[in-house]
Chains A and B, each alone.
Chain A
Amino acid sequence: MTIRPPGAVAAFRRGLSLSLSKPYLAACLWLIQLLVSLVIIVPVGNTLHSLLDHSPAAGRMVADPDYGWWETVTRTHPDLLGNLPEIVTKLLTAEGVRASDLDGLRGIGAVALSLALLAIMLHAFALGGVFGALREPRSSLVTFGREGMRRFPAFLAFTVAALAAALAAYRWIYLETGKVLADRVQDLETEGQAMAVTGLRLLLLLLALAAIKLLADSVRVIWVARPDLPPVSRFFAGVAGALSRPGRLLGVLFFYTLVTGGLYLLWLFLDPSAGGEARFALVPLIATQQVFVFLRLLVKVGYYAGVSEALTRTPPPEYSYVPATS
């Protein structure tokens, strides 16, 4: 009897079910993110308290940001962030950010970049844990940690390779096309056409990033699912898996993006931060934020489980780790 592989919807649905059945995976990711974030939040918090607590401006900034305060702080404390605000702004423009822009990062801004790199390392570890734990019928936090460490060298290599590919895609698909087309875009008839060109560049970049992500995730899934194969075969089997089921994988990614986007829209609509203390006191606000992060991570784990479902026709009987028999 041939078991047909599940479609994108079914794979994503099954992935979500798996994620909900193993909530500690999302909890692990949440904890990792929280602890990594605290590295930067402590200096941020201390700086804010030092700048605001005795200032009469503090009263009017409980609910809303103050443009003048922000401009003054970034101007009078240039070593606090460096050019981080400019980089963030440029990232959203048709010109984009170049590597040379990073030279201007200072203080918390520079730490933010380092933290992003650390997060990428931890991401490699966490994915090993997630994929390994997902494939075991009975798993636990211990499984997560053990599987994460077991896969770490290989997954780190995949992650770094994917990161390099993504950066190359950003440079060659987005930045360089922008540079080449800059003058021609000015020659277009309307601003609408110019925006369409930017949109096309952005779409191409997103497609390239999606392809890189699906390729990397496919390799990771097969790497875990087929421990019986030698490493090179596992790698190529992973590439082949992505190439053989691109539509299904893209579908899972699409639903993941859709659900995550929906969560963000819901957050923006409810906006628990608005209104200062009138809406949410500090502790309920933090609790709401963390619940949101946790929900988002549940969906994220669901995506990885969905990709795993889409690539492996049947749950494999083999365990990646053989428990000792008594």
Chain B
Amino acid sequence: MLRAKARAGLVALSAIASATPLPATELTPPIASYQITCRLDPESKTIEGMELLTWKNTTSRPAQTLRFHLYLNAFRNTLSTFWNSAGGARDKLPESWGSIEITRMTASDGADLLPGLRYISPDDGNPHDRTVAEVPLLAAVPPGGTISVAMDFHAKLPRVSNRTGYKGDFFFVAQWFPKVGVFEEDGWNCHQFHAMTEFYADFGNYDVSIELPASYRGKVGATGVRVEERDAPGGRVVYRFRQESVHDFAWTADPDYLVLRDVFREPGLPEVELTLLLQPEHKAQEERHFRAVKAAISGYGRVMGPYPYRTLTLVDPPWGARGAGGMEYPTLITCGTYRIAPKTVQSPEGVTIHEYGHQYFYGLLASNEFEEAWLDEGFNTYMTGRILKSAYGLNHPVLPVFGYRFPLGIEVHHPVDENRRYFAGATGDYLAVPSWKFVDRKTYALNVYSKTAIAMATLERLLTTPVMDRALRLYFERWRFRHPTTRDWIAAVNDAAGRDWTWFFDRTFFSSGVVDYAVSELTSEAAKAPKGLFERDGKLVEKAPASLASPRGHDSVVTVVRRGDVPMPVEVLLRFAGGKTYRAPWDGEARWKRYRVRRGPKLLEAVVDPDEKILLDSDRTNNGRLLSPDPRAASRWTARSLFWVQNLLDFATVAW
């Protein structure tokens, strides 16, 4: 009965939506467009939805079937592929379960497609996984042809987990509707939902109406522009959002939200209306969120190109719903912060800038996050570091003390220090692996995020920043509103640099090897007179000629070794007494290289990669060597250690 009522309401909503067409501001021709009307029941945590999909076949082959993502079925039971790969982390909470069912599916010609629906598992063959459904079409969609499919669906939201769900009255509704896969020349690209994968979809226009209780009035945020707010029977309210040229739609509602607004304005870049849905306990951080997102809009806009949409919504999930935080959807991002967040710690700034950056790496450059996650997460981590550094300077590590986050007086350098986890597992797996095929979550994260970011920063230092920026802009201009791949990025780099840099990617993206250069030997001794037999007047005598007998200066030897298995071009800096320096380039290919300086000034220091261009170097502590020991640092830290130990010994006896 309830469902019938809900459906009647949805039909009415649909009629209203279609009766009031709005001027489209399409940035790219749509491929997969959605018109959705849905109704949230906050008590049962369910959504009744009606969806009208309009899909165009842009390939050169006919489409005999349609494939849909049903992401919420990842939370259906412990047999799902997601649950198994996630290790059942939340199996103690009964409210963790979520699901989605399509209850009606008809093509535009009236054909009932539902009887043909079957669940498939293209990635792992798991017969119990229901995150991908395939529907045979009675008539194939020809190349260039379009099909419309109307669906009713019933979704049950889980307790917030992996980006979506509820906590109390809070709802973050993502990956929630039947969503068509990407049809490519070699067939459907429609992966199952894994613990470590995200999304891949075609661009289109979204028109979504959401009906929910009036207690949520004014406390709803979603992808796109809000075009309508009206009352609905039964003490409910309807919000309608539209957005052209995006490839996903998410929305959120929470009666506790503080709804705060601002506008991004900067000469040379378009205005963006900002909405911040903030938790009341984070009210003091309002300005920090806005400042961070403005820095991001400016930073990405200047390097890549302007943000093309009119609005951006920032969502701050409540306590206990952090699983919804730190996520990106078109024109809507979720941040996440702590009650106590000292300004010297770049949180929430870091997550805000990072998630905004996904408007580019994922949003506009819609790479396949299932198969090449580094193209969005890694590239974006690299850019996040750049913008954080320019807007906020150095970061500091945090020591959490019973929930309080104390910044330590230690500097954390972007991007290498923030991504040091890569070095701890550098050889664990290749970077260029589909996300669900990494050996574990940790290896996935350190490769996809950290290694890519450090590799990109290394590339920037080798290319120089202007060339890197040219490559990024070229990549963006060529591929926005499309699906770029790693090869497309390499082509952009090659074109921007004017030479072939494929070798760099072969050694980083397509290698699990480690970079490590070291100075293994440094000596510098006063030059000695040669000994032995020397020609003099046609005879061999045991006395060196006068010109060689009293040599001046020092003979120095430096040996630089490649301890890692990945070669990189490096420089070697020799610093001599009197302030003289010598820089020698080395292609880094051989296992070692020795430098000899005869009768020169005394050599004081040798450093390989002195400008720290090769950030992928896993051990920089061995990159240099001093001739004479400098015990100052070790002595002071030993003294400090003694003091700490004395105090700790006292604490060790404090209570007994």
The residues of A with any CB-CB pair to B shorter than 8 Å are 33-34, 36-38, 40-41, 44-45, 48-49, 51-59, 61-62, 64-69, 71-73, 75-76, 89, 92-94, 112, 115-116, 119-120, 123, 159, 162-163, 165-166, 183, 186-195, 198-199, 202, 209-210, 212-213, 216, 273, 276-277, 282, 285-286, 289, 292-293, 296-297, 300
Contact = CB atoms under 8 A, between A and B. Distances in A.
Interface of B is mostly: mixed
Contacts of A202: 402
A289 B640 CA distance: 8
Contacts of B402: 92-94, 195, 198-199, 202
A93 B405 CA distance: 10
B86 interface: no
A282 B636 contact: yes
Interface of B: 92-93, 167-168, 279, 281, 318-320, 338-339, 397, 399-404, 409-413, 416-417, 420, 423-424, 605, 607, 618-621, 623-626, 629-643, 645-650, 652-656
Pick the most buried of A67, A75, A194, A293: most chain B CB atoms within 10 A of its CB.
A67
Given A33-B646, A190-B319, A199-B402, A213 B654 contact: yes
Interface of A is mostly: helix
B319 A191 contact: yes
A199 B92 CA distance: 25
A202 B424 CA distance: 33
B206 to A, nearest CB: 32
B411 A277 contact: no
Contact of A293 (B397, B399, B643, B652): B643
Given A37-B645, A189-B168, A52 B653 contact: no
A244 B60 CA distance: 92
B640 A273 contact: yes
Given A41-B642, A93-B402, A159-B656, 8 more contacts: A48-B641, A53-B631, A119-B653, A188-B320, A190-B318, A276-B632, A293-B646, A300-B650
A37 B642 contact: yes
Nearest to A126: B653
Contacts of B339: 190-192, 195
Nearest 9 A/B pairs, CB to CB: A162-B656, A56-B624, A53-B629, A45-B638, A48-B634, A123-B653, A61-B633, A195-B403, A58-B633
Contacts of B404: 195
A282 B631 CA distance: 11
Given A92-B401, A120-B652, A191-B338, A59 B630 contact: yes
B639 A282 contact: yes
A210 B656 CA distance: 9
A59 B625 CA distance: 12
A71 B423 contact: yes
A187 B320 CA distance: 6
Nearest to B423: A75
A176 B318 CA distance: 26
A250 B641 CA distance: 32
20 contacts: A37-B645, A49-B631, A55-B624, A55-B625, A57-B621, A58-B631, A59-B632, A64-B410, A65-B410, A67-B412, A67-B413, A72-B620, A112-B645, A120-B653, A189-B168, A191-B281, A191-B319, A193-B319, A273-B640, A286-B639
Given A76-B621, A188-B320, A62 B632 contact: yes
A51 B621 contact: yes
Pick the most buried of B318, B416, B624, B646: most chain A CB atoms within 10 A of its CB.
B646
A72 B400 CA distance: 22
Contacts of B650: 33, 296-297, 300
Contacts of A54: 625-626, 629-630
B587 to A, nearest CB: 23
Given A166-B655, A273-B640, A49 B634 contact: yes
Contacts of A57: 620-621, 624, 633
Nearest to B643: A289
A130 to B, nearest CB: 12
A292 B655 CA distance: 21
Contacts of B420: 68, 71
A61 B624 CA distance: 15
A285 B641 CA distance: 12
Contacts of B656: 120, 123, 159, 162-163, 165-166, 212-213, 216
A159 B655 CA distance: 9
Given A55-B621, A58-B626, A75 B636 contact: no
